[in-house]
Structure 1
Amino acid sequence: MTLFVALAGLLGMLALGFHIAVTMGLVSSALVLSMPSVPVTVIAQTAFQSINSYPLMAIPMFILMGNVMTRGNIVGVLIELIGSIVRCIRGGLAITVMLSCIFFAAVSGSSVGSAAAIGSATIEGLKREKYPVKFSAALVAVGSTLGLMIPPSLGFILIGSIVGIPVDKLFIAGIVPGLMEATMLLLTTIFVVRKNGYGEVASKADLKGFVRSTPKAAGAITMPVLVLGSIYLGIFTPTEVSAVAAGYAIVLCVFVYQTLKWKDIWSISKDSLLQATMIFAVVLGGSLIGFILARMGATAQLIGFMERLDMEPWQFLLLANAVLLVLGMFLDGVAMIVLTAPLLFPMATHLGIDPIHFAVIMVANVEIATLTPPIGLNLFVMSGIAKIPVESVAKGVMPYYLTRVAALGLITFVPAISLILLK
């Protein structure tokens, strides 16, 4: 009964517009106060322990790196390079945008950040080539979700810190699923533009332009190599490489491309700090919820319930995906992970499901959540940039949504996709 009242209070506060972090903090604190056997000091102790985490320290630096490269217009450099080759085919600009999403995903770590950066740089160009605005906005909204799967991924950092899985292994596990998703989205883009005859076609590939653009784009292209290569080779931990990558991004944008000045770095740093603080606040509130659930034996009760049902692993995975897809309609990715990871991972492990594989499944669900009304953040970002209703962006996303669900099915039931690089 107590949990039911708490859940009703949680949903009621969210409906009234309270921030998810504030909501979780207030509800969990009220639950602690209602338990006489639990001292009030537990609230402060649990909150501090939840953010006193070495892996979590990578989040502010990766956010800073992504914001620097967003404000530094790295997207324009990538589009110039890729477009010089693929603009000669039908839908070349749309394909260029999707490929740019893939590259930018490997340096940003954020879906919303990627959407804002790529959308601002490409929407007007897509309009000039007669692409429907609805399709253009959907294209960027969907492509930007790859920033959650292709490392560095803030989602993997959160899961690793909450569940206790090495973040470097999660990063490596996300590479193949991310590339598979990128390929499926690219093929969907080619199908849609050719079916509808979208876009203009250049007479031939601009090989001279490609050669001319390559040195300029080399700095941006080497960023994924720096991040993933140093982690894969064991040179840096994810936390260490986040600081190195942020410093590299600043050098690149201030000295090489000269698209930013030092005064810009100060304002970007303040914005990045606010974004990181928001994520930490959600983690803090979620940790209190997790503590209460553990104290009340919720996880053990759920595992016992599964044993009584004699649930098979594939049945649990179907159920977990259904729950996450529904939650994705009402919660952002950070809140989804913080609220569900402490409950779902013990159950998955109990059934013999590899926790790294399950982490990739969870991130794939978060990707879909960013595209799912009414809360899908990418839909709102692209609605603002393209200046069209959110409903129009959602309709444009529909062909890609089916592709996303198909990719989720493959990731869920073919564990080798996530684990092959860890063998």
Structure 2
Amino acid sequence: MSIFLFVVFILLIFINVPISIALGSASLIFFLVSGNFPLELIPQRMFAALDSFPLMAAPFFILAGKLMEHGGISQRLIDFAQSLVGQLRGGLAHVGIVTCIFFAALSGSGSATTAAVGSILIPYMVKEGYDRAFSTAVQAAGGTTGIVIPPSVPLILYGVSAGVSVSSLFIAGIIPGLMIGLSLILVSYVISVIKGYQGTQDKMNVKKLAVSFRKAFLSLLMPVIILGGIYGGIFTPTEASVVAVVYGFFIGFFVYRQINFSVLREILVSSVVTTSVILLLISTASLFGMILTRERIPQTVAETFMDSPLTPLIIMLLVNVFLLIVGTFMETIASVIILTPILLPVVTGLGMDPIHFGIVMIANLSIGLITPPVGINLFVGSQVGQVPYEKLVRAILPFLVMMIVDVLLLTFLPGISMFLVDVLES
């Protein structure tokens, strides 16, 4: 019967049924065909999946991210990043990635980061002589840090699904997110040297750096408040998400004055739509996951790997390849919710810490943001940068290869993810 469940689900996906509807429909059909489950269990299970205090952080961080996206912080972050790294070869490319890192720590969204930074920086890079496809690829790749660096909605959903601390996941994501960002800067530097792109004409200017930092200070302060508050014991991650909303609204409305009531209405509507899609996906995925658990699919997968002659190294490589393939055609949030119950018993059976695996999983799935055919950052970048999709795919390949190397490093060097967690929890 479990094979029947997957066959129905894959058929629905194949005919372009939205993932949340496909999950719910496949589960309902399984209920009707098997006859082993009372139908009233469906709404009960779907509601129970959403009745979670840690999960409340997701819609609030989504709203906070959209407030920041529309709140006038992009240009300030770009100016600050340019004063930091603009003088290097290919300086504007590095500015784009550094700005994406800063913005990712505010929005927690890969596509929002790509859109907000790219809409300003891509035209500027093209004007300065950079190839349009390369300029767009830089922003699309830089946007992937949005789901690794906290606050990150996929990290929250992984924490809820795996039953691990969201606070610890946030802390564990800091160094990996920065590492991925720095590796992307390395790629952009090499490409810039090959193509002869120069840095900005201005030399490092301490005064200019101080001025740009002062203008961007309130924006940069937000992740400090969130993470500092969580680990200072002032508030939980869920409470931190509400603080982020209040802070984002205050800066955008009263300080930067980029948000008015018309923009606020747009932000609220967009946040409600995004949240509704995610919550529907969570509830139907929970129903799907309940069937998998009762059919012992996760346990069977774990036992199969544990009883196989494969070494732990090979098993982890296979898990990474599997996540990489799934990320190419399935949306990140859906992948996290569906695959966490299946893969977690496998990796914990190998002795891997669930928090470490969470970072590896999210970093791996972040590659899917820039991988055809689903890669949402590619679609956003193509629209913002006015680049044909096929041309952008070719330009993104060097960044794609580097991110695969990053994931392998994160997998087999757990200290990268766990160092700050061990220090703060010791």
TM range (shorter): over 0.9
Q: How many Å separate the matches in 2 of 1:402 and 1:299? A: 30
Counterpart secondary structure, 2:259:
coil
Q: Partner letter of residue 342 of structure 1?
A: P
Q: Is the Cα–Cα contact under 8 Å of residues 229 and 240 in structure 2 kept in the other structure?
A: yes
- Offset of residue 371 of structure 1: 1.0
Instruction: Report the counterpart of residue 345 of structure 2 in structure 1.
Output: 346
Instruction: Report the counterpart of residue 189 of structure 2 in structure 1.
Output: 190
Q: Show structure 1 runs of 5+ residues with no match.
A: none
- Residue 290 (structure 1) aligned with residue 289 (structure 2): yes
Which stretch of the first structure deviates more once superposed, 192-201 or 95-104?
192-201
Q: Deviations over 1:325-345 (max 9, x none)?
A: 111111010111111111001
Counterpart secondary structure, 2:183:
helix
- Offset of residue 111 of structure 1: 0.7
Question: How many residue pairs end up in the alignment?
Answer: 422
Q: Deviations over 1:363-407 (max 9, x none)?
A: 011111111101111001101111122111111111111110110
Q: Write out aligned runs for 1:21-420 (5 A).
A: 21-199=20-198, 201-420=200-419
Counterpart secondary structure, 2:223:
helix
- Offset of residue 210 of structure 1: 2.8
Q: Partner letter of residue 100 of structure 1?
A: T
Q: Partner letter of residue 36 of structure 2?
A: S
Q: Is the Cα–Cα contact under 8 Å of residues 181 and 407 in structure 1 kept in the other structure?
A: yes
Q: Is the Cα–Cα contact under 8 Å of residues 88 and 198 in structure 2 kept in the other structure?
A: no
Counterpart secondary structure, 1:375:
coil
- Offset of residue 199 of structure 1: 4.5
Q: Partner letter of residue 33 of structure 2?
A: S
Residues 89, 309 of structure 1: alpha-carbon distance in 2 compared, 3 angstrom cutoff: closer
Q: How many Å separate the matches in 2 of 1:340 and 1:162? A: 9
When normalised by structure 1's length, the TM-score is 0.96
Q: Is the Cα–Cα contact under 8 Å of residues 2 and 295 in structure 2 kept in the other structure?
A: no
Q: Partner letter of residue 411 of structure 2?
A: T
Q: How many Å separate the matches in 2 of 1:181 and 1:212? A: 28
RMSD of aligned C-alpha atoms? 1.5
Q: Show structure 2 runs of 5+ residues with no match.
A: none
Q: How many Å separate the matches in 1 of 2:283 and 2:166? A: 19
Counterpart secondary structure, 1:328:
helix
Counterpart secondary structure, 2:370:
coil
Q: How many Å separate the matches in 2 of 1:304 and 1:89? A: 52
Q: How many Å separate the matches in 2 of 1:246 and 1:147? A: 17
Q: Kindly, what percent of the aligned residue pairs are identical?
A: 36
Q: How many Å separate the matches in 2 of 1:108 and 1:125? A: 23
When normalised by structure 2's length, the TM-score is 0.96
Q: Is the Cα–Cα contact under 8 Å of residues 150 and 175 in structure 1 kept in the other structure?
A: yes
Q: How many Å separate the matches in 1 of 2:5 and 2:18? A: 16
Q: How many Å separate the matches in 1 of 2:148 and 2:274? A: 19
Residues 257, 350 of structure 1: alpha-carbon distance in 2 compared, 3 angstrom cutoff: same
Which stretch of the first structure deviates more once superposed, 299-308 or 281-290?
299-308
Q: How many Å separate the matches in 2 of 1:48 and 1:299? A: 23
- Offset of residue 206 of structure 1: 4.4
Q: How many Å separate the matches in 2 of 1:194 and 1:14? A: 43
Instruction: Report the counterpart of residue 420 of structure 2 in structure 1.
Output: 421
Residues 199, 282 of structure 1: alpha-carbon distance in 2 compared, 3 angstrom cutoff: farther
- Offset of residue 6 of structure 1: 2.7
Counterpart secondary structure, 1:277:
helix
Residues 109, 85 of structure 1: alpha-carbon distance in 2 compared, 3 angstrom cutoff: closer
Q: How many Å separate the matches in 1 of 2:277 and 2:386? A: 27
- Offset of residue 272 of structure 1: 0.6
Counterpart secondary structure, 1:172:
helix
